[in-house]
Structure 1
């Protein structure tokens, strides 16, 4: 276990590089746009299913 932790720390120190500020900003915008699009798609599907369920139950009751 200690060997794994030591190797992980060495890996982080020697082989991992952080992206530049500009690249981080670009990636943040991409993630934000896709998050908004996914939220809108989820809202749309939820609204559609809600309408379908209301229609179904209104037809059963009448």
Structure 2
């Protein structure tokens, strides 16, 4: 995974975690659940994409 894409995933993942903290602070249970599910899904997608790109790079012929 290249650096800008990794930075994007890190920033958005962190923003979702901050959203969870803010929702807890305001006492909004629906927003806590929504941000939690979104955070787990987004971070999981990032790991999946990273593994997929790594497998693609490993299988490509080396020059």
Give TM class, smaller chain: 0.5 to 0.7
In 2: Cα distance, 1:47 partner to 1:24 partner:
34
Give the TM-score, by structure 2 length: 0.53
Aligned residues: 37
In 1: Cα distance, 2:62 partner to 2:34 partner:
45
Q: RMSD of the alignment, in Å? A: 1.6
Out of 54, 57, 62, the position equivalent to 2:62 is 57
Largest Rg, 1 or 2: 1
Give the TM-score, by structure 1 length: 0.54
**Structure 1 stretches of 5 or more lacking a match?**
1-19
Secondary structure of 1:26's aligned partner:
helix
